[in-house]
Amino acid sequence: MTSTSVRRHKATGLVVLLAGLVTTGIGYAAVTSTAEASVPQASQGQLDQGHQIFLEGCATCHGLAAQGSSDGPSLIGVGAAAVDFQVSTGRMPLAAPDNQAPQKAVVYTADQISALAAYVASLGPGPSIPSASDVSTTDAELAEGGVLFRTNCAQCHNFAGRGGALSDGKYAPSMMNATPTQMYEAMLTGPQNMPVFNDKTMPPAQKQAIIKYIKNLQQAQAPGGLALGSYGPVTEGVFIWTAGIGALLAAAVWIGAKVR
């Protein structure tokens, strides 16, 4: 493995760590506003606003009546939760077709997102945006969340939620930036290659436990020191072959030169 890849690996780890810390803070702030937006009864004004934004930003791909087109699936019945997840993580509006819609900078304000969500929800019944009490983790069991996480999520998102590769260039992203609402929505709607964990297969209490566990992962305490990105033995191997062996070779050369 080249040393450039190492540096990038390590940098990724750091960035992810920092980003995790920063966004947890922001995430908490965001929870309250998104949760309020899930008030089921939307006003006509909000629906109109949502329709307007939809026509401008989404209809090219999803069709004028959200019925779908060759460039995007039908949104009828996907529910407010799907819209909120896709738009609040910056995945939608999609910039260009790719293996997978990447997270980007969010395009719309919280108000605009709730208007969009309300509009799409009005087209057909679907999961609504989870409320603040839905994503509350005060009663949840951390350790139970860990077990559920390892059973249901770790095979794609890795043991520490740092993400992993799927087939053909698709990937399960890192969860370090996700807000509790987005976590809940992701489980509820199963974006792209992620399975749907509906309330029958995974009751809300279990979702809350998982969210509690992920939040715990996001706090990123590493009792053992630098976590090297929490990617497992690969980064450890890269570390020993660069920094580790590098340091000892330097010492050997130094001692060897001393005696001359």
Partner 1 sequence: MSVIVKEVGRALGRADERLPVASGLKKNLRKVFPDHWSFMLGEIALYSFLILLLTGVYLTIFFKPSMTDVVYHGSYQPLVGVPMTEAYSSALGISFDVRGGLLIRQIHHWAALFFMAAMMVHMFRIFFTGAFRKPREFNWIIGGSMILIGLLEGFAGYSLPDDLLSGVGVRIVAGIVESIPIVGTYLLFFIFGGQYPGTDFIPRLYTFHVLLVPGILLASVGLHLVLVFYHKHTQYPGPGRTNENVVGFPLFPVYTAKAGGFFFVVFGVTVLISALVTINPIWAYGPYVPDQVTAGSQPDWYIGFVDGALRAFPSWESQFWGHTWSWNIFLPCVVLPGLMVTALLAYPFIESWVTGDTGEHHLLDRPRNAATRTSLGAMAIAFYGVLVINGANDIIAAAFNLSINQLTWFTRIGIFIIPPLVFLSTHRFCMGLQRRDRELLLHGRESGQILRLPHGEFIEIHTPISDDQKAVILSKRDIAPLAIPAATDQNGVATPGLAGKKIRAKLSGFFFQDNVARPSAAEIEAAHHHAHEVHDHEITELHEAGKQAPSQLTD
Choose, by CB under 6 A, the member of 110, 132, 194, 220 that binds ligand HEC: 194
Per CB under 6 A, does 82 bind ligand HEC?
yes
Measure the CA–CA gap between 91 and 88, rounded to whole angstroms.
Answer: 8
Per CB under 6 A, does 195 bind ligand HEC?
yes
Per CB under 6 A, does 140 bind ligand HEC?
no
Per CB under 8 A, does 220 bind partner 1?
no
Measure the CA–CA gap between 27 and 46, rounded to whole angstroms.
Answer: 24
Locate 85 and state its tokens: 């997840």
| Segment holding 171, helix H or strand E | strand 171-172
**Which C-beta is closer to partner 1: that of 36 or that of 236?**
236
| Segment holding 152, helix H or strand E | helix 142-152
Locate 166 and state its tokens: 């799927």
What is the closest distance, in whole angstroms, from the C-beta atom of residue 245 to partner 1 in the complex? 5
Per CB under 8 A, does 7 bind partner 1?
no
Applying CB under 8 A, the site for partner 1 has a residue count of 65
**Which C-beta is closer to partner 1: that of 157 or that of 207?**
157
| C-alpha closest to that of 51 among 119, 100, 111, 113 | 119
Per CB under 8 A, does 227 bind partner 1?
yes
Beta bridge partners of 69: 72
**Axis-axis angle for helices 3-36, 79-88 (nearest 10):** 140
| Interacting residue ranges for ligand HEC, rule: CB under 6 A | 57-58, 60-62, 71-73, 75, 78, 82-83, 86-87, 89, 91-94, 100-101, 103, 116, 152-153, 155-157, 172-173, 175, 177-178, 182-183, 186-187, 189, 191-195, 197, 210
